[in-house]
């Protein structure tokens, strides 16, 4: 009997990896049109449904054999053990020596979820209750500002994982929002964002939430200090801060030092990664805007996806299947990017959110045992609402030279849409996926032109430009409707997809050391710009840019 491969075996030495390469030499010749024609059951066979989410992955350059080999790859990479370790609260974020236990944040019921033997659920529930009490008070008008007026505006100050998730969800579920509350998100240290936001709000009726896991992020703290000065200038009373500033962090000491009363701090824990944190107190803006019930429904949807991910066999497991399709294109077809195309205006921040989730997690080139990879890892994630993309960059996707798989995301229920709009929207989404798959060959173009009365010579000239090769892969994710539950499930689907890919690539998905060097250099240069420090040895280009900046600003100061 063959010995099963060890989880430590290099990816490229695994039997399934080698089998996939040999399979690929045939697969790259297939056209999806022919695959559909050859198999009437194809759509049904390559569709999964779970918790109000349908994933149709039939428009991919795969056969049953491809999926079998990809699933073998997952097995040979020890994916089962990785999933079990995550759900067991093991310290799988090894380079930061932490668990990555966001599944505990949306765990419902009485099952203990342990990190280092200790059940974290009592603290998770306690914080949720505090958040709910606070959100309830603000929403009902019981929580008043320092001049006894109810809160009308909430300004979230945070960046990256302390901004994108809450912002994306608040946008996506606007239809569920409290009618009195307006949400604002400030992440950029470019003061124009804060300035424009403050122009729209009043100190008496604004609540600032300062969100930072570390509470050391320069951009966030600078914005928070400026917002505090702005507020104090108007309120003229330090005591008023307690009615208008709350913090969300893992760093209580830094929050206190900033001047926010620890009673106004909502905590979370080091086992929650920043980009996986919207389910924790970092989701306070969501709970404020949408209410406790909707926030819990978001958690429930994610929890249902967690159960599916943990328990479903890999061939029926949505995150695993999505991840494997990604591997197929990135590692075999050489696709360097992946497009997120939501056909829903409310989901317009989803591409940016998934971009951080995926690229910060899997944008790595060192394996967990410290070797350099000899294969590609995370693709560049980009995108835009599909309808806008169609009139902008889809040209390249249809006829350009890059292979970029696309995820189409839309909802079936057009309830709430203005008459006539939803059908047009969804018709476009289905049509694009069909066009990317089928393409249009030279005969079809010629026939169409002839039917329009174009003469033969002109047809010959026009055909090359109007041919679409098709065979461009896409997944379609249909939500029964865009509601908190389905959105929770959708986000968790992508979180787990990313974890599966990282597991197969044998990289650490939960750290982000690549962001550190820029932060350090910025600190040094910042001091130089403030002329607190003589310029360090920089390369000629950087030195020149700093000198030019100093010269212009010195002139302005004179
Ligand atoms: O610089 C990257 C990063 O650390 C992200 O991982 C994180 O989401 C973001 O900055 C914000 O960090 P914090 O919540 O600690 O302010």
The string of DSSP letters for 5-50 reads: PPTTS-GGGSHHHHHHHHHHHHHTT--HHHHHHH-TTHHHHTEEEE
Neighbours of 5 (CB within 10 A): 18
Distance CA 335, CA 331 (A): 7
Question: Which ligand 1 atom minimizes the distance to the CA of 219?
Answer: 16
Alpha carbon of 263 to ligand 1 centroid (Å): 23
Is the predicted pLDDT of residue 87 greater than 70, yes or no?
yes
Q: Which active-site residues does the annotation give? A: 360, 391, 519
- % of the chain beyond a pLDDT of 90: 94
Which band of pLDDT confidence, cut at 50, 70 and 90, is reported for residue 7? Answer: low
DSSP state of 261: -
DSSP state of 187: -
Mutate to test the pocket of ligand 1, among 274, 362, 510, 522 (most ligand atoms within 8 A of CB): 274
Alpha carbon of 526 to ligand 1 centroid (Å): 19
Is the predicted pLDDT of residue 398 greater than 70, yes or no?
yes
CA 337 to chain centre: 15
- % of the chain beyond a pLDDT of 70: 98
Question: Which ligand 1 atom minimizes the distance to the CA of 360?
Answer: 6
For 168, the token pair is 């994306």
Distance CA 211, CA 172 (A): 20
CA 394 to chain centre: 21
CB 274 within 8 A of CB 160: yes
Residue with tokens 């009490």: 133
Torsion sign (Cα): 33, 34, 35, 40: positive
For 418, the token pair is 């203005």
Residue of 153, 150, 227, 142 lying closest to 187 (CA atoms) = 227
The whole-number average pLDDT for the span 94-110 is 95
Residue of 131, 132, 129, 111 lying closest to 120 (CA atoms) = 111
Alpha carbon of 190 to ligand 1 centroid (Å): 17
pLDDT of residue 9: 87
The whole-number average pLDDT for the span 169-194 is 98
Residue of 138, 100, 504, 476 lying closest to 323 (CA atoms) = 504
Strand order in the sheet with 337-342: 47-50, 53-56, 474-479, 406-411, 337-342, 380-383
User: Model confidence over 112-127: pLDDT tens digits?
Assistant: 999 999 999 999 999 9
CA nearest ligand 1 atom 10, residue: 160
Is the predicted pLDDT of residue 209 greater than 80, yes or no?
yes
Residue of 158, 129, 147 lying closest to 224 (CA atoms) = 158
Is the predicted pLDDT of residue 78 greater than 60, yes or no?
yes
Question: Which of the residue ranges 249-263, 482-496, 525-539 would you say has the lowest mean pLDDT?
Answer: 525-539
Alpha carbon of 281 to ligand 1 centroid (Å): 15
Query: What's the CA dihedral at 24, 340, 374, 161 to 10 degrees?
Result: -160
Q: What are phi and psi of 250, to 5 degrees?
A: -100, -5
Alpha carbon of 159 to ligand 1 centroid (Å): 6
The whole model's pTM is what? Answer: 0.97
Residue of 470, 471, 488 lying closest to 479 (CA atoms) = 488
Is the predicted pLDDT of residue 556 greater than 80, yes or no?
no
Distance CA 16, CA 19 (A): 5
- For strands 337-342 and 245-249, give the pairing: unpaired
Alpha carbon of 355 to ligand 1 centroid (Å): 14
Which band of pLDDT confidence, cut at 50, 70 and 90, is reported for residue 513? Answer: very high
CA nearest ligand 1 atom 2, residue: 515
CB 216 within 8 A of CB 253: no
CA nearest ligand 1 atom 5, residue: 160
User: Model confidence over 298-346: pLDDT tens digits?
Assistant: 999 999 999 999 999 999 999 999 999 999 999 999 999 999 999 999 9
Q: Which residues of 47-66 are buried (b: 16+ CB within 10 A; e: fewer)?
A: ebebbbbebbbbbbbbbeeb
Is the predicted pLDDT of residue 471 greater than 90, yes or no?
yes
pLDDT of residue 532: 72
User: Model confidence over 354-385: pLDDT tens digits?
Assistant: 999 999 999 999 999 999 999 999 999 999 99
Question: Which ligand 1 atom minimizes the distance to the CA of 164?
Answer: 8
Is the predicted pLDDT of residue 536 greater than 80, yes or no?
no
User: Model confidence over 13-41: pLDDT tens digits?
Assistant: 999 999 999 999 999 999 999 999 999 99
Question: Which ligand 1 atom minimizes the distance to the CA of 214?
Answer: 15
Question: Which ligand 1 atom minimizes the distance to the CA of 515?
Answer: 1
The per-residue pLDDT of the chain, averaged, comes to: 96
Is the predicted pLDDT of residue 185 greater than 60, yes or no?
yes
User: Model confidence over 448-470: pLDDT tens digits?
Assistant: 999 999 999 999 999 999 999 99
Residue of 285, 297, 345 lying closest to 163 (CA atoms) = 285
CB 354 within 8 A of CB 340: yes
pLDDT of residue 340: 98
CA 412 to chain centre: 22
The whole-number average pLDDT for the span 74-92 is 98
Distance CA 245, CA 445 (A): 63
Residue with tokens 């195309």: 341
pLDDT of residue 109: 83
Which band of pLDDT confidence, cut at 50, 70 and 90, is reported for residue 6? Answer: low
Is the predicted pLDDT of residue 2 greater than 60, yes or no?
no
Is the predicted pLDDT of residue 174 greater than 60, yes or no?
yes
Alpha carbon of 274 to ligand 1 centroid (Å): 6
Residues with CB under 6 A from ligand 1: 159-162, 212-214, 217, 220, 274-275, 360, 512, 515
CA nearest ligand 1 atom 1, residue: 515
The whole-number average pLDDT for the span 476-495 is 98
Distance CA 174, CA 314 (A): 35
The whole-number average pLDDT for the span 251-267 is 94
CB 278 within 8 A of CB 105: no
Is the predicted pLDDT of residue 1 greater than 50, yes or no?
no
Neighbours of 423 (CB within 10 A): 11
Helix (H) or strand (E) holding 292: helix 292-311
Distance CA 488, CA 313 (A): 21
Mutate to test the pocket of ligand 1, among 168, 186, 211, 213 (most ligand atoms within 8 A of CB): 213
Mutate to test the pocket of ligand 1, among 102, 217, 224, 521 (most ligand atoms within 8 A of CB): 217
Hey, is 400 helix, strand or coil? coil
Is the predicted pLDDT of residue 489 greater than 80, yes or no?
yes
Is residue 72 left, alpha or beta, with left meaning phi > 0 and alpha meaning psi from -120 to 50? alpha
DSSP state of 216: -
Question: Which ligand 1 atom minimizes the distance to the CA of 211?
Answer: 14
CB 338 within 8 A of CB 380: yes
Is the predicted pLDDT of residue 554 greater than 90, yes or no?
no
Cβ neighbourhood burial of 109 (10 Å; 0-12, 13-18, 19+): exposed
Alpha carbon of 359 to ligand 1 centroid (Å): 13
Distance CA 197, CA 187 (A): 11
Which band of pLDDT confidence, cut at 50, 70 and 90, is reported for residue 535? Answer: confident
CA nearest ligand 1 atom 9, residue: 160
CB 428 within 8 A of CB 387: yes
């Amino acid at each position: 009997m063959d010995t099963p491969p060890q989880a430590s075996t290099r990816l490229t030495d695994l039997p399934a990896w080698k089998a996939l390469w040999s399979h690929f030499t045939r697969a790259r010749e297939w056209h999806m049109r022919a695959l559909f024609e050859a198999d009437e059951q194809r759509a049904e066979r390559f569709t999964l449904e779970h918790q109000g989410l349908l994933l149709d992955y039939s428009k991919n350059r795969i056969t049953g054999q491809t999926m079998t080999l990809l699933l073998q790859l997952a097995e040979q990479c020890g994916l089962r053990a990785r999933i079990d370790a995550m759900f067991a609260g093991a310290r799988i974020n090894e380079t930061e020596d932490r668990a990555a236990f966001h599944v505990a944040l949306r765990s419902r019921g009485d099952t203990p979820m342990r990190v280092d033997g200790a059940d974290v659920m009592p603290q998770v529930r306690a914080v949720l209750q505090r958040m709910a009490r606070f959100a309830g008070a603000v929403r009902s008008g019981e929580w008043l500002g320092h001049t006894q007026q109810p809160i009308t505006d909430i300004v979230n100050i945070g960046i990256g994982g302390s901004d994108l998730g809450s912002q994306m969800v608040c946008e996506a579920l606007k239809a569920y929002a409290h009618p009195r509350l307006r949400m604002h998100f400030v992440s950029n240290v470019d003061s124009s964002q804060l300035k424009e936001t403050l122009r729209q709000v009043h100190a008496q009726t604004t609540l600032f939430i300062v969100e930072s896991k570390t509470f050391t992020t320069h951009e966030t703290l600078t914005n928070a200090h400026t917002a505090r000065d702005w507020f104090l200038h108007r309120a003229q009373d330090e005591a008023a801060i307690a009615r208008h500033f709350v913090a969300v962090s893992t760093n209580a000491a830094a929050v206190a030092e900033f001047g926010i009363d620890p009673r106004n701090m909502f905590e979370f824990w080091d086992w929650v990664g920043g980009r996986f944190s919207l389910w924790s107190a970092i989701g306070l803006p969501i709970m404020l805007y949408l209410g406790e019930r909707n926030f819990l429904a978001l958690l429930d949807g994610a929890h249902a996806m967690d159960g599916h991910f943990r328990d479903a066999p890999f061939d029926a497991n949505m995150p695993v299947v999505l991840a494997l399709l990604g591997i197929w294109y990135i590692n075999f077809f050489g696709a360097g990017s992946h497009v997120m195309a939501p056909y829903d205006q409310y989901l317009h921040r989803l591409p940016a959110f998934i971009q951080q989730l995926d690229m910060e997690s899997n944008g790595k080139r060192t394996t967990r045992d410290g070797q350099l990879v000899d294969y590609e890892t995370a693709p560049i994630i980009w995108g835009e609402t599909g309808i806008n993309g169609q009139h902008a960059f889809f040209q390249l996707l249809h006829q350009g030279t890059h292979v970029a798989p696309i995820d189409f995301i839309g909802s079936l229920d057009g309830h709430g849409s203005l008459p006539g709009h939803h059908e047009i929207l969804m018709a476009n989404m289905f049509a694009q996926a069909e066009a990317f798959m089928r393409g249009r060959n030279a005969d079809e173009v010629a026939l169409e032109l002839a039917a329009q009365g174009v003469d033969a010579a002109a047809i010959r000239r026009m055909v090359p430009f109007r041919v679409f090769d098709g065979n461009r892969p896409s997944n379609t994710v249909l939500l029964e409707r865009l509601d908190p539950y389905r959105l929770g499930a959708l986000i968790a689907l992508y979180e787990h997809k990313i974890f599966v890919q990282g597991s197969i690539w044998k990289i650490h998905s939960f750290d982000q050391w690549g962001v550190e060097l820029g932060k350090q250099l910025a600190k040094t240069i910042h001091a130089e710009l403030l002329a607190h420090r003589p310029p360090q040895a920089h390369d000629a280009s950087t030195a020149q840019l700093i000198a030019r900046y100093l010269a212009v600003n010195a002139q302005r100061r004179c």
